[in-house]
């Protein structure tokens, strides 16, 4: 039986799934397709990790492990919704919620003091941060805005803040001592095994990573970020923001880069609040305060102190805020700043949002203001500085006329920085860190380090690179759009990659194609100029730029990355279809809980389902799946033409209503086709009933809005409550059940 594995995740996408999945199941069962729901939510991953602590009826299987095996099979077909990549504060919240629900799971030991705690911490660290995507992404990435979506945006442009040439907004990035400057890279001639060894200045050695197996032709690189250089840089930027009268904002990826970026974030917190951390060092140490978890965590922890002591610290924090530059805010009403929670400001989404908003972020009064966007490591910061300069010079982009920038991203098998967290270390000694070939004893890469530096190693295997080049050529051929590899001949890793790209391009017929290699900065300028002129350009990038560009361009072009088609052709033949290119939109959940309106747009899910059904049509030779896919495609088009995306405002169409319309248009398209008489006869009466009940169903759906909703939890909501909240139309439910 043809199968689709549909993922149950977290936050807004998980809410949307409650309403959308019953539609998917009802429609696809007519083609004999089985939908298997796989739970990869943060809560379920935690529960599955500690079976020995739990009652039999609380134990669950680890669906992520299962999916991790399935992605290596030829006929696997997965629809992957965005999930939470938990920062430590989020992980702690999820653990507390599960404990309160009677799950006897351990707390997260921040600083483990014995072997048992070390084991618990290492099990949790596998759940933390971006723990799902790297497991599932056994293929490279093909993300683009479908033509219909672009046309929709051209006719219905989203708001776009104007840019003026005297904007004081700027990117600040390091020019020495960072990952970019210190990178060293080698390509392995033979398969081998390496150890990462720290040699302290007194000569003693510690193995940081043992027995790392590497394949023939694999590229490895290692680099360090100097703590001293980082602190100097941060101090200078805090002063710069204050002198210039702009907001100080830090843009990191503390979720995905779960080892390095929380440390960098923590340094920014400690530098910004230097006087506070100095004065209260002993108290903070006794409370186990870790600056890497952000200011909110600190404020929560000091609540346990006697009132006088707590107020004194709070006063000192207020003074530091008053003396420093104005901080960019995440939520000015609630006083949540850029430094409160490490996972609140995530660079891929936060920088484009700022660029779309005239280069401004929000200050504590809720007004937008020019910003110093601090991106410490300079590896990829230039793409944002170049974009900002371009906007200052040429004004904002116009969604009604601008072109499009699809991306082909190298990401298979934990490529590059995205797979580096198990090889990233905060080094607490002066000395050297070396990557040593165990078989030959040869040192492949060596760095001098000082206490506090962050050392990291990345890998990218050869087969994924070959597959990536092939995918790029195939997209260039299909679209005939100029195709640019964003690689910098002045960067160690990229030098190795450029050699391979030049070699593997020869494996393909590239005649008549415009394929070039440019540094990220030049590629940005080249692409932006064309974009402004309404011309399209394919970006072919490594894993980090894939992430950045597939939020940057969609947000500018179509208002959100939720509307992206996001395909991962798995290297062994299967298909992983991601929904959109954005995240789990926590602020949508807040709106839903407070006023019963969910403005999550499921367009990404519709597009992913379309290509997933097409995959079944082609690979499993299921003609009914192809008809469902074609009908869904025309339903999505109707959905856009009739503007049935959720509105932002309570009382108007929300996610549930938008699902109703998709079902209506899908049923109509199936009723209208005549390739398959059985499907036609099933869906003709369904389309009629849905159409006749439109007013009644919408009334039932809209009545559910306007008041707070209780779904019995955040990370593990109550299945019954969430089901009721997301499916409030009896009429609609009855019609679906009758299919």
Ligand X SMILES: O=C(O)CCC(=O)C(=O)O
3-class DSSP state of 209: strand
| Binding status of residue 10 toward ligand X by CB under 6 A | no
Q: How far apart are CA 294 and CA 610, in angstroms?
A: 41
Angle between helices 520-532 and 381-394 (to 10 degrees): 30
Nearer to ligand NDP, 188 or 346 (CB): 346
Long-range contacts of 689-693 (CB under 8 A, 24+ apart): 689/735, 689/738, 690/660, 690/663, 690/664, 690/732, 690/735, 691/664, 693/731, 693/732, 693/735
Which residue blocks in 520-564 are alpha helix, DSSP H? 520-532, 543-558
| Binding status of residue 582 toward ligand NDP by CB under 6 A | yes
- Choosing among ligand NDP, ligand X, Mg ion, none, which partner's interface includes residue 371 (Cβ < 5 to 8 Å by kind)? none
8 A C-beta contact, residue 717 and residue 725: no
CB of 133 to ligand NDP, least distance (A): 6
The answer for residues whose C-beta is within 8 angstroms of residue 639's C-beta and 6 or more apart is: 603, 606, 645, 658, 661, 662, 665
CB of 581 to ligand X, least distance (A): 5
Q: Spell out the SS3 assignment of 262-303.
A: HHHHHHHHHHHCHHHHHHCHHHHHHHCCCHHHCHHHHHHHHH
Nearer to ligand NDP, 83 or 612 (CB): 83
Which residue blocks in 347-424 are alpha helix, DSSP H? 347-356, 381-394
Nearer to ligand NDP, 41 or 622 (CB): 41
* Distance in angstroms between the alpha carbons of the first and the last residue of the chain: 19
> Binding marks (x or -) toward ligand NDP, 589..618, rule CB under 6 A?
-----------xx--x--------------
Nearer to ligand X, 496 or 551 (CB): 551
CB of 326 to ligand X, least distance (A): 28
- Choosing among Mg ion, ligand X, ligand NDP, none, which partner's interface includes residue 541 (Cβ < 5 to 8 Å by kind)? none
**Exposure b/e, 667-685, CB count within 10 A at least 16 = b:** bbbbbebeebeebbebbee
Q: How far apart are CA 525 and CA 545, in angstroms?
A: 15
Could you give phi then psi for residue 400, rounded to 5 degrees?
Answer: -80, -20
Nearer to ligand X, 129 or 325 (CB): 129
Q: How far apart are CA 569 and CA 211, in angstroms?
A: 30
Residue 346, beta-bridge partner list: 252
The answer for residues whose C-beta is within 8 angstroms of residue 308's C-beta and 6 or more apart is: none
Kindly state the greatest CA–CA separation across the chain. Answer: 82
| Binding status of residue 496 toward ligand X by CB under 6 A | no
Nearer to ligand NDP, 112 or 586 (CB): 586
CB of 568 to ligand NDP, least distance (A): 11
Residue 451, beta-bridge partner list: none
Query: Residues in the site for Mg ion, rule: CB under 5 A?
Result: 348, 547
- Choosing among Mg ion, ligand X, ligand NDP, none, which partner's interface includes residue 180 (Cβ < 5 to 8 Å by kind)? none
| Binding status of residue 85 toward ligand X by CB under 6 A | yes
* Region 385-414 residues binding ligand NDP, contact defined as CB under 6 A: none
* Region 236-265 residues binding ligand X, contact defined as CB under 6 A: 255-256
Cβ-proximal residue to Mg ion, closest one: 348
| Binding status of residue 226 toward ligand NDP by CB under 6 A | no
Element spanning 89, H or E: helix 88-100
> Binding marks (x or -) toward ligand NDP, 474..513, rule CB under 6 A?
----------------------------------------
* Region 334-353 residues binding ligand NDP, contact defined as CB under 6 A: 343, 346, 349
With CB under 6 A as the contact rule, the residue among 171, 388, 581, 608 that binds ligand X is: 581
CB of 579 to ligand X, least distance (A): 11
Total chain residues near ligand X (CB under 6 A)? 9
Total chain residues near ligand NDP (CB under 6 A)? 21
| Binding status of residue 622 toward ligand X by CB under 6 A | no
With CB under 6 A as the contact rule, the residue among 376, 583, 596, 610 that binds ligand NDP is: 583
CB of 324 to ligand NDP, least distance (A): 25
Burial of 368 (0-12, 13-18, 19+ CB in 10 A): middle
* Residues lying near ligand X in the complex (CB under 6 A): 85, 130, 133, 255-256, 348, 547, 550, 581
* Residues lying near ligand NDP in the complex (CB under 6 A): 82-85, 133, 255, 343, 346, 349, 560, 562, 580, 582-587, 600-601, 604
């Amino acid at each position: 039986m043809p199968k689709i594995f549909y993922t149950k995740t977290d936050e807004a996408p998980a809410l949307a799934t409650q309403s959308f999945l019953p539609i998917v199941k009802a429609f696809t069962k007519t083609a004999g397709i089985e939908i298997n729901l796989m739970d990869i939510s943060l809560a379920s991953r935690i529960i599955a990790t500690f079976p020995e602590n739990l009652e039999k009826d609380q134990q669950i299987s680890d669906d992520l492990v299962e999916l991790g095996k399935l992605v290596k099979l030829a006929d696997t077909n997965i629809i992957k919704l965005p999930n939470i990549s938990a920062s430590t504060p989020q992980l702690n919240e999820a653990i507390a919620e599960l404990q309160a629900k009677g799950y006897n799971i351990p707390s997260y030991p921040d600083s483990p003091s014995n072997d048992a705690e070390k084991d618990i911490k290492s099990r949790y660290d596998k759940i933390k941060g971006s723990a799902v995507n790297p497991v599932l992404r056994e293929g490279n990435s093909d993300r683009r805005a479908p033509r219909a979506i672009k046309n929709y945006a051209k006719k219905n442009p989203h708001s776009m803040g104007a840019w003026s040439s005297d904007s004081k907004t700027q990117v600040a990035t390091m020019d020495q001592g960072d990952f970019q400057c210190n990178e060293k890279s080698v390509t392995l001639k033979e398969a081998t095994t390496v150890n990462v060894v720290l040699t302290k200045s007194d000569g003693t050695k510690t193995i940081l990573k043992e027995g790392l197996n590497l394949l023939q032709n694999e590229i490895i690189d290692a680099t360090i970020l100097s703590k001293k250089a980082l602190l100097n840089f941060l101090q200078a930027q805090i002063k710069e923001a204050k002198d210039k009268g702009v907001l100080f904002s830090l843009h990191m990826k503390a979720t995905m880069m779960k080892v390095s970026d929380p440390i960098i974030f923590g340094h920014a917190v400690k530098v910004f609040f230097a006087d506070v951390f100095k004065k209260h060092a002993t108290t903070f140490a006794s409370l186990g305060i870790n600056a890497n978890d952000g200011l909110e965590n600190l404020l929560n922890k000091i609540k346990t102190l006697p009132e006088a002591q707590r107020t004194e610290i709070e006063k000192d924090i207020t003074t530091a805020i008053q003396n420093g530059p104005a901080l960019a805010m995440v939520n000015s009403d609630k006083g949540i700043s850029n430094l409160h929670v490490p996972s609140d400001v995530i660079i891929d989404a936060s920088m484009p949002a700022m660029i779309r908003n005239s280069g401004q972020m929000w200050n504590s009064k809720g007004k937008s203001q020019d910003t110093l966007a601090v991106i410490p490591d300079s590896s990829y910061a230039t793409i944002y500085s170049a974009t900002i300069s371009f906007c200052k010079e040429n004004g904002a982009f116009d969604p009604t006329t601008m072109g499009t920038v699809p991306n082909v991203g190298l990401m298979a098998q934990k490529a590059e920085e995205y797979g580096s967290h198990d090889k990233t270390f905060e080094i607490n000694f002066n000395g050297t860190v070396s990557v040593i070939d165990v078989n030959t004893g040869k040192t492949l890469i060596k760095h001098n380090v000082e206490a506090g530096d962050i050392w990291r190693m990345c890998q990218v295997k050869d087969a994924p690179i070959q597959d990536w080049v092939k995918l790029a050529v195939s997209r260039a051929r299909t679209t005939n759009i100029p195709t640019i590899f964003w690689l910098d001949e002045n960067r160690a890793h990229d030098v190795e990659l450029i050699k391979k790209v030049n070699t593997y391009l020869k494996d393909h017929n590239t005649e008549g194609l415009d394929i070039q290699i440019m540094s990220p900065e030049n590629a940005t300028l080249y692409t932006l100029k064309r974009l402004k002129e309404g011309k399209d350009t394919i970006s072919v990038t490594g894993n980090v730029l894939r992430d950045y560009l597939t939020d940057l361009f969609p947000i500018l072009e179509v208002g959100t990355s939720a509307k992206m088609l996001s395909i991962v052709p798995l290297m062994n033949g299967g298909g992983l279809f991601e929904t959109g290119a954005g995240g789990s939109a926590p602020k949508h959940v807040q709106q839903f809980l407070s006023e019963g309106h969910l403005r999550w747009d499921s367009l990404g899910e519709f597009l992913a389902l379309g290509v997933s059904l097409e995959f079944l049509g082609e690979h499993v030779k299921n003609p009914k799946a192809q008809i469902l896919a074609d009908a869904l495609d025309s339903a999505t088009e109707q959905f856009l033409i009739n503007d049935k995306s959720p509105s932002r405002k309570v009382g108007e169409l929300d996610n549930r209503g938008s699902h109703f319309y998709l079902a209506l248009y899908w049923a109509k398209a199936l009723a209208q086709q005549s390739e398959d008489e059985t499907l036609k006869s099933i869906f003709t009466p369904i389309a009629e009933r849905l159409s006749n009940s439109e007013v009644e169903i919408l009334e039932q759906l809209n009545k559910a809005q306007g008041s707070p909703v209780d779904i019995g939890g955040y990370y593990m909501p109550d299945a019954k409550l969430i089901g009721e909240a997301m499916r409030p139309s009896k009429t609609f439910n009855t019609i679906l059940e009758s299919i």
